[in-house]
Structure 1
């Protein structure tokens, strides 16, 4: 939405685009471009995401951002659910059968200029910062993804196979194997073999 202001869209009355007041108006704009069945799925996704976030421990430094993101999802879902319950979207908005399939190659166009006109630059920037901060927190928590060769190394070492034998099985020299393992420990954020195997086991990276 920030791009819309660069093209002359005037700021609107809602300073915080995560409030119920904002979303009660925003949902009418969604209905002009998104099939009602798609809006229903979005509401479910927001509800599921909000519930999942409720079960997580919130770092103290992230409390404000966390509150904004959960409020956005809660109010967006609630407004969509109320809008759908009214029956108006079914008669007014595009039906899924009348619209192209919703894909990355063929998305529906959301009227971002209309959404931007409901709020302010500062409000939009604050929402974006909160979303980025929460996303970065989840990304940092996520266990690293391992390549098949890395998983095999860990499994063989966890089974007690000597490093020299693992190197031979995988076509490495012993020196090269130590280099590969050093990279793997760095990737896992650990200092060595014992810690690496403990972390990989605890996070389900190996069976």
Structure 2
């Protein structure tokens, strides 16, 4: 029997979820850079971390918004469990899946333990527009985890987002294919620029465009994805 659309992966929703994860992780790492002491949780995607972090988010975000996030994260976690992925993406996929699953559980558990908000005007529950702009205290989240953990989470979210939104191998043009194979050789940027007829500055721009076309954040992920999809054969 074919699976229903409810269990299929929606790349737009997964990209949105990964964008929120990577943005939060980046903000946590920035808070450390500006002097916030690191916390004890080395992996900010575990259930133990989420049980502490949810209080910080809940203090800033309206209940209706929390429900929307739980719905988004829960859908993505459920659909991710049904997907076949390249082996090179397995660790990143697991990290993001655990984050989404544990965040969903933490949000729903907290919502179940508190009363529904009082109705707003017209008998409707309050929405995001009924509140002052929320400020999530990323310094408090940073105090729960480590810089290394936050950066690892960001890399995982960007990799999964890239996979969700990436085009097919045919999306690369001839010059990008030439550049990809040259970069995969492991040569230094200065040597590549000379061999390919670029200035170093223009080569960096071309590489940035190449990684965007592949839907990956950097050279390492780009080469991994290219190898997994047979682009280097």
Identify the TM-score tier after normalising by the shorter chain: 0.5 to 0.7
Paired residue total: 139
Shift of 1:61: 0.6
Of 72, 97, 119, 1:70 maps to 97
Pairing 1:135–2:199 present: no
Quick one: structure 1 residues 57 and 107, their matched pair in 2 at CA, closer, same or farther if it must change by over 3 Å?
farther
CA distance in 1: counterparts of 2:169 and 2:91, whole angstroms: 25
CA RMSD of aligned residues (A): 2.8
Could you list the structure 1 runs, at least 4 aligned residues long, displaced by more than 6 angstroms after superposition. 142-145
Structure 2: tracts of 5 or more residues without a match? 1-27, 119-124, 172-212, 214-233
Match of residue 112, structure 1, among 123, 126, 138: 138
Aligned in 2, Cα 1:89/1:122: closer, same or farther, shift over 3 Å? farther
Mapped pair 1:21 → 2:48? yes
Q: Residue 136 and residue 26 in structure 1: after superposition, are their counterparts in 2 closer, same or farther (change >3 A)?
A: same
Which whole-Å CA distance do the structure 1 matches of 2:64 and 2:88 have between them?
A: 37
Aligned-partner Cα distance in 1 for 2:98–2:34: 28
Per-residue CA deviation, residues 57-108 of structure 1 (Å, 9 max, x unaligned), is 11101100000000000000000000011116859xxxx7496458xxx852
1:41 corresponds in structure 2 to: 68
The verdict on how the C-alpha distance between 1:108 and 1:121 changes in structure 2, with shifts beyond 3 A counting, is same
* TM-score w.r.t. length of structure 1: 0.60
Given that residues 64 and 128 in structure 2 are in contact (C-alpha distance below 8 angstroms), is that contact kept between their aligned partners in structure 1? no
Matches within 5 A, 1:36-185: 36-87=63-114, 90=117, 97=126, 100-101=129-130, 107-141=133-167
Distance, in Å, in 2 between the alignment partners of 1:58 and 1:43 is: 24
Q: Which has the larger radius of gyration?
A: 1
Q: Residues 144 and 41 (structure 1 numbering): CA distance in 2 closer, same or farther, change over 3 Å?
A: farther
After superposition, the Cα gap between the structure-2 partners of 1:126 and 1:64, relative to the gap in structure 1 and judged at 3 Å, is same
> Is contact 2:73-2:100 (8 Å) kept?
yes
Tell whether 2:30 aligns with 1:3.
yes
Secondary structure, counterpart of 1:32 in structure 2: helix
TM-score normalised per structure 2:
0.54
